[in-house]
């Protein structure tokens, strides 16, 4: 893997055998983008790929691939950089001024989270400098190509090298010109409790974009875009995946221009953004991560999963086994006291659970969601022994102890708000919009971040706390901050996110052994930015197993299983009212960071025995679920949306677990086989089928080639069910709706 520079042709070729990116200095000094995607031979020039456009004396025009397009100079597509100079103009002419090829990956700086390397051999970085002479604005574009994955991380620095202030109005993290638009766009869109539905549409002329102006990445559109060819499947064909390592307002967009080329750009949403740059100051964009694969969408996912799990997540919990947790939220809501919690923890311990998490309601006057947010002192009425007393009792049972916080928020009915009303975001003299009875604290004010680092730090130091669930339950409205003058209010949204990252940085540095899980009314801030601080995130408040098939499928396109909090909850489900068997619920939740969210003291003896078996099943295969390669097999978004299947396999293809799910039963099912992936075609596998956690239904031996070409038989079931599950005519007794089958595969030798 390396980055080649040919001074004769003025081309760079970034290549690692799995992907190539080719950039060049154009005749006018601009930076051209000649190619990105399929691996190309090195040692050749690709300048002929550059399409000039007659009619413009600066030799640019829409079909030209540009790495740093700006407005007002003949390229009428969406720009990657817009800087307003003191005369009010936004015209830039950024010309090549030099470059560096660096081993490894320099830190992004500016408090922003980013992917990283642990050794210089893991990546090479190309930094290209461009200068706009009239204004003195200098730009550095950074491209890091990883050795292990077909992935480029891209970010930009804008430096005001002039003598007067300028205003950055748009600064995209990535801008990539593709030579054709024959792609289907994949977006992950939804809402509270139905996050990250897979939505696909063919590209058409014009701009197609998703984004957020909510102050957080949002449940509505994840900061991710995929592209696939019409014929691309999960395992074959060309695909792109582009993710933004950022948790605030974002824009993910593709513009198709009249000649049929496509420009993809990702970055902070310019809609709600401006940034004043005084002479000598630097603005850093967040990082965008772009993965290309010709092994289908699954190839893109495999690269992003490994990158995010091993070189975005940080700290000791990156690699450590994630504990099976029990969260009290759906079990008690606000109605708990010390004894009830300890009873729940005791019952959880008996089930094999490893971590007990106390959710909302333990602090201040927080008896419901109308009060108390912001007052981070323990409520001694509910918890007379304090947090340390509770943690001690939970630890005494042999469990770890975890705690919920929502530091970025305040209820007007709180001591914090009464003391500091100006710490909540709002425009003086205007009504503030309430949402879940709360307001957002202004993290653009350094004093607010300092205060939160102190009070939350005090809480975390006050008791032996092993885990924190960091929630965020409303979006930003009436954006205005006293921290900035009138002409700089466009900085608030980004400064809020920088304040959030600073708070995370301070707390994760001070408490390195705490496992952080992010949350935002479920999965409204499930993004690569927060995964750098918190290696797992609460995927959705919707714990219904049927809904979770879709939510976890969509989430898994960019994000690894280790990042997806997934819990078994009580029925009727609190979000949908649906009643599903507890085995089905567990068989879905195991494909995630596994846990329970119910009152374990309310379980029957039979359910308790079942949960014990579920936890044991998961723990025995935890390594596979957490670190294995996840492969999507059958989409819950396709057909009648009645089935889904996926699997995890280890890198050596020696173990795998396959999950197949059928929502509603239909009599006389068609003959059906499920084709597996990620196995060794030359190996023999012992396959054990489970349709409940009571006991496996049976075992058979199959070749990896057969499992990956013909598949494993679902109907009639393989193996044939035991005698007591058969009808007199030999057909098998169907267990009704919400059926699952798990296939546990172990390599037992060569074929």
Q: Tokens at residue 108, please?
A: 């992004």
Q: For residue 385, what is the DSSP state?
A: T
E-strand spans in 318-408?
Answer: 325-327, 355-358, 400-405
Is 75 among the residues known to form the active site?
no
Integer Cα distance of 408 and 94 in angstroms? 39
Q: Tokens at residue 304, please?
A: 């992003």
Q: Which is nearer to ligand GLA, 525 or 621 (CB)?
A: 525
Instruction: Please give the angle made by the CA atoms of 727, 728 and 734, to the nearest 5 degrees.
Output: 5
Cβ neighbours of residue 695 under 8 Å, at least 6 residues apart? Answer: none
Cβ neighbours of residue 231 under 8 Å, at least 6 residues apart? Answer: 237
Q: Which of 360, 466, 541, 599 is catalytic?
A: 541
Given a contact cutoff of 8 angstroms between Cβ atoms, the answer to whether 145 and 16 are in contact is yes
Minimum distance from residue 662 beta carbon to ligand GLA (Å)? 28
Helices H, strands E: what count in the chain? 13, 38
Minimum distance from residue 540 beta carbon to ligand GLA (Å)? 8
- For residue 729, the tally of other CB atoms under 10 A from its CB is 5
Q: Which is nearer to ligand GLA, 371 or 632 (CB)?
A: 371
Q: Which is nearer to ligand GLA, 149 or 404 (CB)?
A: 404
Integer Cα distance of 216 and 525 in angstroms? 6
Peptide bond into 646 cis (omega under 30): no
Q: Which is nearer to ligand GLA, 249 or 521 (CB)?
A: 521
Integer Cα distance of 443 and 440 in angstroms? 9
Given a contact cutoff of 8 angstroms between Cβ atoms, the answer to whether 583 and 230 are in contact is no
Minimum distance from residue 582 beta carbon to ligand GLA (Å)? 20
Minimum distance from residue 325 beta carbon to ligand GLA (Å)? 12
Minimum distance from residue 101 beta carbon to ligand GLA (Å)? 45
Rounded to a whole number of angstroms, the distance between the first and last alpha carbons of the chain is: 35
Given a contact cutoff of 8 angstroms between Cβ atoms, the answer to whether 55 and 61 are in contact is yes
Minimum distance from residue 425 beta carbon to ligand GLA (Å)? 20
Helix%, strand%, coil% for the chain, nearest 5: 20, 35, 45
Q: Which of 132, 471, 542, 744 is catalytic?
A: 471
Residue written as tokens 């619920």?
585
Q: Which is nearer to ligand GLA, 445 or 569 (CB)?
A: 569
Integer Cα distance of 388 and 233 in angstroms? 52
Minimum distance from residue 392 beta carbon to ligand GLA (Å)? 24
Q: Which is nearer to ligand GLA, 292 or 329 (CB)?
A: 329
204: nearest Cα among 260, 267, 128: 260
Residue 667 backbone dihedrals phi, psi, to 5 degrees: -65, 155
Q: Which is nearer to ligand GLA, 128 or 570 (CB)?
A: 570
Minimum distance from residue 738 beta carbon to ligand GLA (Å)? 23
Minimum distance from residue 470 beta carbon to ligand GLA (Å)? 10
Instruction: Please give the angle made by the CA atoms of 159, 160 and 162, to the nearest 5 degrees.
Output: 145
The strand pair at 515-518 and 355-358 is best described as unpaired
Residue nearest ligand GLA by beta-carbon distance: 360
Q: Which is nearer to ligand GLA, 175 or 438 (CB)?
A: 438
Integer Cα distance of 88 and 82 in angstroms? 12
Helix (H) or strand (E) holding 418: helix 415-419
Integer Cα distance of 61 and 55 in angstroms? 8
- DSSP output for 584-635: HHHHHHTSSEEEEES-GGGS-HHHHHHHHHHHHHHHHTHHHHHHSEEEEEE-
Reduce the DSSP state of residue 422 to 3 states and report it. helix
Q: Which is nearer to ligand GLA, 593 or 679 (CB)?
A: 593
- Total residues belonging to the chain: 751
Positions that interact with ligand GLA (CB under 6 A): 329, 359-360, 404, 471, 473, 519, 521-522, 538, 541
Residue 8 backbone dihedrals phi, psi, to 5 degrees: -70, -45
Q: Which is nearer to ligand GLA, 329 or 336 (CB)?
A: 329
Is 197 among the residues known to form the active site?
no
Catalytic residue annotation: 471, 541
């Amino acid at each position: 893997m390396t980055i080649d520079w040919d001074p004769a042709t003025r081309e760079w070729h970034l290549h690692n055998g799995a992907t190539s990116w080719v950039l060049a200095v154009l005749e006018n000094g601009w930076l051209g983008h000649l190619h990105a995607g399929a691996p190309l031979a090195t040692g050749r020039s690709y300048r002929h790929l550059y399409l000039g456009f007659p009619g413009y004396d600066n030799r640019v025009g829409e079909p030209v691939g540009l790495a740093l397009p700006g407005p007002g100079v003949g390229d009428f597509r969406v720009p990657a950089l817009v800087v307003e100079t003191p005369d009010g103009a936004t015209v830039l002419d950024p010309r090549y001024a030099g470059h560096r090829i660096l081993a490894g990956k320099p830190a992004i700086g500016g408090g922003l989270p980013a992917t990283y390397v642990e050794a210089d051999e893991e990546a090479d970085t190309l930094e290209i400098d461009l200068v706009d002479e009239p204004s003195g604005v200098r730009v550095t574009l950074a491209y890091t190509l990883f050795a292990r994955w077909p992935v480029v991380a891209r970010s930009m620095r804008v430096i005001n090298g002039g003598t007067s202030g300028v205003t950055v109005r748009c600064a995209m993290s990535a801008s990539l010109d593709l030579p054709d638009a024959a792609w289907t766009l994949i977006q992950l869109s939804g809402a509270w409790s139905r996050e990250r539905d897979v939505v696909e549409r063919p590209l058409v002329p014009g701009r197609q974009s998703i984004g957020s102006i909510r102050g957080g990445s949002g449940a509505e559109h994840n900061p991710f875009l995929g592209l696939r060819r019409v014929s691309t499947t999960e395992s074959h064909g060309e695909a792109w995946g582009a993710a933004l390592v950022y948790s605030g307002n974002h824009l993910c967009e593709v513009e198709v221009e009249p000649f049929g080329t496509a420009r993809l750009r990702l970055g902070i949403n310019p809609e709600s953004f401006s940034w004043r740059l005084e002479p000598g100051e630097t603005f850093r964009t967040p990082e965008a991560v772009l993965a290309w694969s010709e092994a289908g969408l699954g190839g893109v996912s495999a690269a992003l999963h490994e990158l995010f799990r091993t070189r975005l997540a940080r700290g000791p919990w990156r690699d450590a086994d994630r504990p099976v947790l029990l969260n009290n939220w759906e079990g008690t809501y606000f109605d708990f006291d010390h004894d009830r919690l300890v009873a729940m923890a005791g019952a959880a311990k008996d089930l094999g659970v490893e971590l007990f998490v106390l959710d909302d309601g333990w602090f201040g006057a927080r008896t419901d969601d109308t009060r108390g947010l912001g007052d981070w002192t323990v409520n001694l009425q509910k918890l007379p022994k304090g947090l340390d007393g509770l943690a001690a009792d939970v630890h005494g049972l042999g469990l770890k102890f975890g705690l919920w916080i929502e530091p970025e928020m305040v209820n007007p009915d709180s001591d914090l708000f009464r003391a500091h009303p100006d710490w909540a975001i709002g425009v003086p003299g205007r009504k503030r919009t309430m949402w879940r009875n709360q307001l957002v604290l202004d993290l653009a004010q350094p004093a607010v971040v300092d205060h939160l680092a102190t009070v939350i730090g005090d809480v975390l130091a006050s008791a032996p706390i092993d885990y924190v669930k960091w929630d965020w339950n409303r979006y930003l409205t009436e954006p205005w901050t006293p921290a900035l003058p009138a002409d700089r209010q466009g900085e608030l949204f980004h400064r809020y996110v920088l304040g959030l990252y600073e708070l995370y940085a301070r707390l994760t540095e001070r408490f390195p052994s705490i496992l952080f899980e992010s949350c935002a009314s479920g999965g409204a801030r499930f993004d690569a930015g927060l995964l750098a601080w918190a290696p797992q995130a609460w995927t959705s408040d919707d714990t219904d197993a049927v809904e979770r098939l879709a939510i976890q499928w969509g989430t898994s396109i960019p994000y690894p299983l280790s990042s997806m909090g997934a819990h078994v909850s009580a029925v009727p489900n609190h979000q949908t009212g649906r009643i599903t068997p507890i085995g089905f619920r567990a068989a879905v939740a195991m494909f995630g960071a596994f846990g329970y969210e119910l009152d374990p003291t309310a379980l029957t003896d039979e359910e308790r025995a079942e949960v014990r078996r579920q936890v044991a099943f998961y723990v025995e295969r935890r390594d596979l679920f957490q670190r294995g390669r996840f492969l999507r097999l059958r989409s819950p978004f396709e057909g009648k949306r009645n089935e889904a299947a996926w699997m995890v396999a280890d890198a050596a293809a020696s173990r795998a677990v396959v999950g197949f799910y059928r929502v509603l039963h239909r009599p006389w099912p068609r003959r059906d086989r499920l084709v597996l992936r990620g196995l060794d075609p030359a190996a023999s596998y012992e396959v054990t089928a489970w349709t409940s956690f009571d006991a496996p239904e049976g075992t058979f031996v199959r070749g990896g080639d057969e499992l990956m070409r013909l598949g494993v038989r679902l109907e009639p079931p393989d193996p044939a069910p035991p005698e007591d599950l058969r009808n007199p005519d030999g057909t098998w007794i169907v267990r009704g709706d919400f059926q699952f089958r798990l296939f546990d595969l172990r390599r037992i030798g060569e074929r």
